[in-house]
Amino acid sequence: MFYGEYEHTLDKKGRIIIPSKFRETSKENYVEKFFITRGLDVCLFMFPEEEWKSQEVRFKNLSFTKREARKFNRLFFSGTVEVIPDKQGRILIPAYLKNYADIKKEIMIIGVSNRIEIWSKNRWEDFYKTSKESFEDIAEKLVDLE
């Protein structure tokens, strides 16, 4: 559903503009509301409402008697904010989420199929630089292409 990488900057009010391609996709799929939370690798995850509901069911079914499950759910759900883009496709990201992802001004917005990731530009460049070399090795371990 969401594909590609887009370079953007925060506006003076600390808002981001969702890339037009993602806005078109959202409109085509009747997505009006998103949920943003702490992601992995020091980025933010942004889920369309239906995908969020699916993830929520999955994670809340983790056993609360397991310490790691409690810790993950606390960090994942406590950091979540519900957002509805304005008519220009802008959303406001709370300061605590920008701090978590080390977002200052320049950002990268990444489409990862069922979710959007929001990265500080520097962190994305570091991640990409260190990960691109192992892309084929990762694919070999995770994906059966035959």
What b/e string do you get for 83-118 counting C-beta neighbours within 10 Å, with b at 16 or more? bebeeebebbbeeebbebbebeeebbbbbbeebbbb
pLDDT digits (tens, 9 = 90+) for 31-64: 999 999 999 999 999 999 999 999 889 888 888 8
Q: Where are the domains of the chain?
A: 2-142
State in words which class domain 2-142 has.
alpha beta
pTM assigned to the model = 0.90
Give the SS3 label for residue 95: helix
Backbone angles phi, psi at 67, to 5 degrees: -55, -45
* Per-residue pLDDT tens digits for 64-111: 888 988 988 888 899 999 999 999 999 999 999 999 999 999 999 999
Angle of helix 67-78 relative to helix 49-60, nearest 10 degrees? 160
> What six digits make up the tokens of 39?
């992601």
